[in-house]
Amino acid sequence: MQHDVLIQEIQGWLLDETLRDPDIVPLFASLCARLRAAGIPLDRAALTWPTLHPLFQAEQIYWRRDSGTQFHQYRHDAGISEAFLSSPFHHVISNQISRLRRKLTGPDALRDFTVLDDLQSQGYTDYLLTSTSFRIARVERATSNATGILASWSTRRTDGFSDDDIVALSRIQKVFAVACHAAIQMRVMQALGEAYLGRIAAHRVFAGEARLGDGAEIRAVVWFSDLRGSTWLSGHMTPSTYLDYLRDYYACTAEPVLAEGGEILDFIGDGVLAIFPVKGDLGGAEAVRAATRAMEGALDRLESYRRNPEHAEMQFSISLALGDVMFGNIGVPTRLSFSAIGEVVNTVARIDDLSKTVGRSVLATEEIASVDPDLWLPIGPANLADHDRPLPLYAPRCGRDIFDEDQLRSRFLARLAS
């Protein structure tokens, strides 16, 4: 009776947690601890679910009584491992089984999966796997289109789980699935929000800035990069080859921005618009240095890519300027984009156009160059469209940013000829 009362209390706690937007990792850890406190001899547990994420196909939490929780994510590009294909998890999914139990020791022992031999060698005596299906989005897999959770429960108690333990764990699974549905759905929303809006913009949207005009004026370094010769290159490549080429170009330019804490606002054709927000330091020195490191990282990647004959002709521009931008929702009430607008955004676009004329891939304003002047070479004031006065511009002293469109075309044609 006491056992039933405690399980009912856990179920009530789970329902309360569902309404509080729970984080699934501490939720699972707390559930395991509560189950053990209720008298279920739980020593190890694992929770697995497929997810909708640009990088990861599945996520998993391991809980062990003596070492706490571990969180794992499994990448799309890793494929489906042999370990998974030979696991009880795959067996349950493939055969649409809601529950699988295996005694690991004694006369009734059945260890028909490799992982069960491993668990038995670690002192575990009983294993239960429960599965609950629910749908968040269509997450296609080689094995199933369904989404949901799979939870495994293991004990080291000599005689394993009792019948009451098995009933309790099966009862808990259904209520726990309700809490997991809410938690996983929020994880999916956040992942997709960050992938399509950017980390900072997604955070603002989920915080309530979801109406036209919502936003704030911030100071930031604005970054604009553009693939050189893109129109000409796209006309000489098949669409699929050009898309692969764009992917590598974005790896050169966008990934260094993210690595240095920048926020990518938009991919405009083959252009990358990003910002490095100024935080605390009104002069923006740290934001400028982060953008400069990203620029140097992009040039480093370009040198590496050019060693591959298929990218020998790759060239791109980077323009940097510091100023105030309006960072928020633009568009129409039913179709919004979270972006940055302002004079400095227009300035970097004009600077990018100028870079084609002056033969430099990287150009920056005086506010950028003044932070670390030894890194920059003045190239004189320039007349920009829609600007009343000439604007002093600077290029990196490293000399790695020289742009030559004729060289781009000749290298590409030479590669085609070979």
Looking at 65-74, 188-197, 284-293, which range is the least confident one?
Answer: 188-197
Which listed CATH number (3.40.980.10, 3.30.450.40, 3.90.1150.10, 3.40.50.300) goes with 2-197?
3.30.450.40
pLDDT digits (tens, 9 = 90+) for 381-416: 888 877 778 889 999 987 666 655 555 555 555 554
What are the start-end ranges of the E strands in 187-345?
Answer: 215-227, 263-268, 271-277, 316-332, 335-341
Per DSSP, 385 falls in state T
Q: What is the pLDDT of residue 138?
A: 52
pTM for the complete prediction?
0.74
CATH (residue range 211-417): 3.30.70.1230
Check for a shared fold between 2-197 and 211-417. no
Looking at 3-7, 295-299, 321-325, 375-379, which range is the least confident one?
Answer: 3-7
| Rounded Cα–Cα distance for residues 319 and 272 (Å) | 10
User: Tokens 């080429």 belong to which residue?
Assistant: 245
User: Which residues 6+ apart lie within 8 Å of 121 measured at CB?
Assistant: none
Q: Please, are residues 266 and 339 in contact by the beta-carbon 8 Å criterion? A: yes
C-alpha dihedral over 198, 201, 205, 208, to 10 degrees?
150
Domain positions in the chain? 2-197, 211-417
Is 141 a residue whose pLDDT tops 80? no
Q: Please, are residues 258 and 301 in contact by the beta-carbon 8 Å criterion? A: no
Burial 76-114 (b: 16+ CB within 10 A, else e): eeeeeeeeeeebbbbebbeeeeeebbbbbeeeeeebebe
Q: pLDDT band at residue 54, thresholds of 50, 70 and 90?
A: confident
Which stretch of DSSP H or E encloses residue 379? strand 376-382
Per-residue pLDDT, averaged over 360-377, amounts to 93
Q: What percent of the chain has pLDDT over 90?
A: 43
Is 106 a residue whose pLDDT tops 80? yes
Looking at 10-19, 160-169, 263-272, 393-402, which range is the least confident one?
Answer: 393-402
Burial 31-54 (b: 16+ CB within 10 A, else e): bbebbeebebbbbbbbbbbbbbbe
Question: Of the spans 136-150, 223-237, 254-268, 301-315, which averages the highest pLDDT?
Answer: 254-268
Q: What percent of the chain has pLDDT over 70?
A: 89
| Rounded Cα–Cα distance for residues 117 and 136 (Å) | 34
